[in-house]
Amino acid sequence: MTYGYARCSTNERKQDVERQKRDLREMGAEEIYTEYESGTKRDRPELGKLMRHMKPGDTLAATEISRITRSTKQLCEIVDFAVKNGVKLVIGAFVVDCTGGIDAMTEGMIKMMGVFSEMERNMTVERIKSGIRNARSKGVRLGRPPLKAEDLPKKCLQHFELYKSGAISKADYARLCGVSKPTIYKYIALLTDG
């Protein structure tokens, strides 16, 4: 059986795995496991489930190394798993038949692909951090804009006098506004201090 593994780092609203799934079907994947987790995360539920289902002679397919993992160490563990369990790995056009073990050159190639995948991720993280430092040095305020009283929901402004006069409790105020207790505490602080 050929199993496909498709992964993106963020949720389905921000990233789409449909291209990966289409490519995996073209590669012969009969069953595809999809996951929205970081490639550096060690315990990914769908990858773990997929590996538990695999039997000798099965194939694990991914469109590229970075979809399976962004960690060279974890890639080595996956290669070891494939060799021990007689599983074939298909990474894009690169096919590694581990059913009878793998030669040193093939193992080196797949691990080198993992090194480049991890390096690519690390370079991206460095660029992001550099961009944040640069923005801060220019005085750019990052994150959410500060909340102002006039930005609060109308219901909260309408019912504030009831709370302030003691006619309703904080819990009642939160319920009337349709927000959580921690949120109502922030709103109260903003309305009483501002």
Give 91's contacts (C-beta < 8 A, 6+ positions apart).
61, 62, 63, 64, 65, 68, 110, 113
Domain 2-134 has CATH 3.30.2130.10: no
Amino acid at 118: E
d(CA 27, CA 50) in angstroms, rounded, equals 17
Q: Residue 156: what pLDDT?
A: 86
Q: Which two tokens stand for residue 146?
A: 């500060």
* Residues 30/1, Cβ–Cβ less than 8 Å: yes
12-37 burial: b if 16+ Cβ within 10 Å, else e: eeeeebeebbebbeebebeebbbbbe
pLDDT of residue 60: 95
How many CA atoms lie within 13 Å of 100's alpha carbon, on the beta-carbon side? 1
At 47-98, the pLDDT tens digits run 999 999 999 999 999 999 889 888 889 888 999 999 999 999 999 888 888 8
Yes or no: say if 60 and 89 are a contact pair by the CB < 8 Å rule. Answer: yes
Contact 14, 31 (CB under 8 A): no
Q: What share of the chain is helix, strand, coil (3-state, %, to 5)?
A: 55, 15, 30
User: pLDDT per position in the chain (194 positions), as tens?
Assistant: 999 999 988 766 667 889 999 999 999 999 999 998 888 888 899 999 999 999 999 999 999 988 988 888 988 899 999 999 999 999 988 888 888 888 889 888 888 988 998 899 899 999 999 999 999 999 998 888 888 888 888 888 888 988 888 899 989 999 988 899 888 898 888 888 74
Beta bridge partners of residue 3, listed in sequence order: 31, 60
The pLDDT score that the predictor gives to residue 13 is 64
